[in-house]
Structure 1
Amino acid sequence: MSWAVTAHQVLENDHVRLQPISESDREPVHAIAMDAEIWRYFVTLVETRADFDDFFDACLDDDHAGRRVVYVITDKATGRVAGSMSFGNLSESDARLEIGWSWLGREFRGAGRNRWAKFLLLEHAFEELGARRVEFKTDVLNVRARSALRNIGAVEEGTLRSFNVMPGGRRRDAVYYSILAAEWPRVREVLSTRPKVESAVLPA
């Protein structure tokens, strides 16, 4: 089976549950998505209900087409939807994929939910899919996200200048990071045993 098919499953631990997106998630996701801070460094701007529906429809379309595996994150402590994260840019022949398109509702930031969601995706990528490289990219201006990636052991590889157009017309410089399969055991230990390590929101 392809990675897009194999990865299309529920992933969970004691902290979070990640399930592939479905139409039934539209309203729970909408309830936490109308926060301008979420979209500050995101490539999509969501300001109105119509914006949100376009964004959500694009997530469904990408997921159904196998371009991404879009997960909805549920906080185990409250049972509430907390945000979303995706596998994307799936290059199975090269054993490479990206983790990104990540965001959390305001009350779930800084509480470890993004860290544990990222842990589950990295674990699945390296230990189940057989990825040899997992990459991340973020806005050069997103200092918090860049610091968080360094803190978990991701290696900064360089900046792609004028990478894409952001809402409002600014051209974003995108900074790439990666974790390789040989580095995963060390990163796994950092994420699972150091309680102060927290991955920031990492819009792609």
Structure 2
Amino acid sequence: MPQQSTETGRPLPDWQPAALPQRTQLQGGSIRLLPLDAERDAAALYQAEHAADADPSQWDFLTAGPFQSELDFSAWLKTCAVSSDPFFYTVIDQQSGLATGVLSYLAITPEHGSIEIGHIWFSGRMQRSRQATEAIYLLARHAFEVLGYRRLEWKCNSLNQRSQQAALRFGFTPEGLFRQHRVFKGKNRDTAWFSMLDSEWPLQRAIFEAWLQADNFDAEGRQKKSLNEIRAALS
């Protein structure tokens, strides 16, 4: 069953609704996040989707794709670019300047201070990389510290083990399984729910930032300490 908060009924006398995401750049060390622009990003993202290291299985759990033509891919990106919920960002590699992935905020509920990270598609070279973790960090930091949200959600198909493992790695707390939550691509979807709260963010931020330090990586870009190892040391 979903976990219940131990603070149910706690007054929030100073509560103000959170802000909506705006079309601003989020700057990181190895990447920057830009609001999705189909004209700017389609060609590079399509090439990344069809590169030798591409992972077509990612589309198994995404609402669209895979795409067999750049025209269809570009049309999908155009619908994403004009959407306000989900609100999509393109991941731009800091060194090459190329688009290497997309992700979004969604389920944006400013009046309750709740927002979700999802619709994640990362190129093969970005998966399980420093850049992938930094993208999640940038969205989490922006949601809590700039937009003023108090709850950050992560939801995924219960069959998507990689997404569930990623949620745990990033410091989200599992809240349970919503059975028969969606009909997805003609099949039943049970949805696993995870969350991170604003009160938990300071520790999770410290963990992310310790992991992202340059001295945590060797010359080949491999991590020296995992997020979980850093979490154990700081918790």
What TM-score do the two structures reach when normalised by structure 1?
0.86
Would you say 1:12 and 2:33 are equivalent positions? no
Q: 1:120 to 1:80 in 2, by over 3 A?
A: same
Q: Which has the higher helix share?
A: 1
How far off its partner does 1:29 sit?
1.8
How far off its partner does 1:173 sit?
1.1
How far off its partner does 1:162 sit?
2.0
Q: 1:80 to 1:24 in 2, by over 3 A?
A: closer
Higher RCO by CA contacts (8 Å cutoff, separation 6 or greater):
1
Preserved contact between residue 152 and residue 190 of structure 1 (Cα < 8 Å): no
Structure 2 unaligned residues grouped into runs of 5+: 1-17, 212-224, 229-235
User: How do 1:125-144 and structure 2 match up within 5 A?
Assistant: 125-144=143-162
Preserved contact between residue 45 and residue 51 of structure 1 (Cα < 8 Å): no
Preserved contact between residue 19 and residue 148 of structure 2 (Cα < 8 Å): no
The residue number in structure 2 matching 1:72 is 90
In terms of mean alpha carbon deviation, does 17-26 or 43-52 score higher?
A: 43-52
Would you say 1:57 and 2:78 are equivalent positions? yes
Would you say 1:158 and 2:176 are equivalent positions? yes
Helix, strand or coil for the counterpart of 2:61?
Answer: coil
The residue number in structure 1 matching 2:198 is 181
The residue number in structure 2 matching 1:147 is 165
Structure 1 unaligned residues grouped into runs of 5+: 199-204
The residue number in structure 2 matching 1:201 is none
Would you say 1:46 and 2:62 are equivalent positions? no
Would you say 1:85 and 2:103 are equivalent positions? yes
Aligned residues: 192
Would you say 1:192 and 2:209 are equivalent positions? yes
User: In terms of Rg, which structure is larger?
Assistant: 2
Name the CA distance, whole Å, in 1 between partners of 2:202 and 2:22: 21
Name the CA distance, whole Å, in 2 between partners of 1:54 and 1:77: 28
AA of the residue aligned to 1:99: I
Structure 1 residue ranges (4+ consecutive) displaced by more than 3 angstroms after TM superposition: none
AA of the residue aligned to 1:13: G
AA of the residue aligned to 2:19: W
Q: Which has the higher strand share?
A: 1
What TM-score do the two structures reach when normalised by structure 2?
0.75
